Amino acid sequence: MRKIKKVLIANRGVPAVRVMNTCRDKRIKTVAIYSTPDRLAYHVFLADESIHIGEAPPLVSYLNMEKIIETALKTGCDAIHPGWGFLAENPDFAEMVESAGLIWVGPPPKVIRLVGDKIKAKKIAQRVNVPIIPG
C-alpha cells in the first residue's frame, strides 16, 4: 500500500474541513480547491495549499473531473479524497483518478457502482441476510 503524503480534497465546506483535520492529525499535506464564490471559505484557509478551480456553477468547478485531476497532478498530490456528495459517488471519477496514477480515497469503483444502484444493493443485502424494508 502506497503512503499518502499530499491529498487534494475535491470538496468544500464541512466535508473538506473534516478531511483536512484528519489529514493534519496524520501529518498529510492538503490541497483545497475552490470556486470563485468560495474564495473566502474556511476550507480555503485551512488547507496547506489552495487552488482556484473555476467559477460558480459546480459543473465548471467542483464537478470538473479533468480539472480536479490535473490540479492534483500539478500540485504534487498522490491522492484525491472526494469528501461526500459531488463526485464521491461517481465511479467514473474514481476510475479516472486511479488511471492518472493517483490514490482514490474511497470505495473501489466497482463497489460504488453496486451500491449506487439501489435495486442491486438491496438484492446484495438480501443475499447476505441484512434486514431490509420491503418495497
pLDDT digit string, tens, across residues 50-70: 999 999 888 899 999 999 999
The CATH architecture assigned to 6-106 reads 3-Layer(aba) Sandwich (3.40)
Phi then psi for residue 72, to 5 deg, are -60, -45
Element at 53 (helix H, strand E): strand 49-54
Ramachandran quadrant class, 89 (left: phi over 0; alpha: psi -120 to 50; beta: rest) = alpha
Cell numbers linked to 125? 443485502
Give me the chain's average pLDDT, please. Answer: 95
pLDDT at 68: 98
pLDDT in tens, 70-86: 999 999 999 999 999 88
